[in-house]
């Protein structure tokens, strides 16, 4: 692993958090990093719902089978896309743009001393409707994921998942 890429290799899914707050300024830093992502035709269809209330985090987690760490996080960030704002109003562009924003946020978290975990919502219709109803979203807004964020209570080593068998050169 190249040491200058350490910020990428340190990105790990953190599911255990200390009972400490994450400041509003730090949340803004995470969101600025997310919104620095590339976007098709610079449409920036991403939208974010910042959730701190424990009851709401618990309610979101009830609809996400792998989201049981969410209530113990200091903050949850629901990453959504507005289909009306997406390039050509295409779901594929919306998902690509939101995924780039999610990855930026996930890379920024450990750089700021935080841990984070990406919880998929889209394409599961029951999850989409659960989160949409719970957070009062309009129909044009599609929840793509929820990100649990907090001060990590677990240490994970930097790592790569490089596999030469998945690389093709010049052609398949």
The predicted-structure confidence for 90-146, as pLDDT tens digits, reads as follows 999 999 999 999 999 999 999 999 999 999 999 999 999 999 999 999 999 999 999
All domains of the chain in start order, with CATH? 10-159 (3.40.109.10)
pLDDT at 1: 85
pLDDT at 116: 98
pLDDT digits (tens, 9 = 90+) for 3-50: 999 999 999 999 999 999 999 999 999 999 999 999 999 999 999 999
- The pTM score is 0.96
C-alpha to C-alpha distance for 94 and 52, rounded to whole angstroms: 25
**b/e map of 14-29 (b: 16 or more CB within 10 Å)?**
bbebeeeebeeebbeb
């Amino acid at each position: 692993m190249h040491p200058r890429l350490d910020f990428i290799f340190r990105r790990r899914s953190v599911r255990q958090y200390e009972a400490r707050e994450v400041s509003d300024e730090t949340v803004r830093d995470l969101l600025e990093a997310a919104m620095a992502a590339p976007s098709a035709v610079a449409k920036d269809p991403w939208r974010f719902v910042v959730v701190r209330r424990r009851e709401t985090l618990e309610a979101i987690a009830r609809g996400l089978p792998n989201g049981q760490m969410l209530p113990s996080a200091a903050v949850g960030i629901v990453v959504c896309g507005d289909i009306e704002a997406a390039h050509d109003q295409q779901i594929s562009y919306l998902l690509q743009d939101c995924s780039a924003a999610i990855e930026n946020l996930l890379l920024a978290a450990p750089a700021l001393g935080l841990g984070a975990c990406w919880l998929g919502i889209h394409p599961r219709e029951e999850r989409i409707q659960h989160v949409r109803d719970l957070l009062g979203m309009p129909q044009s807004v599609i929840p793509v994921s929820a990100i649990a964020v907090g001060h990590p209570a677990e240490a994970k080593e930097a790592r790569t998942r490089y596999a030469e068998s998945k690389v093709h050169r010049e052609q398949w």
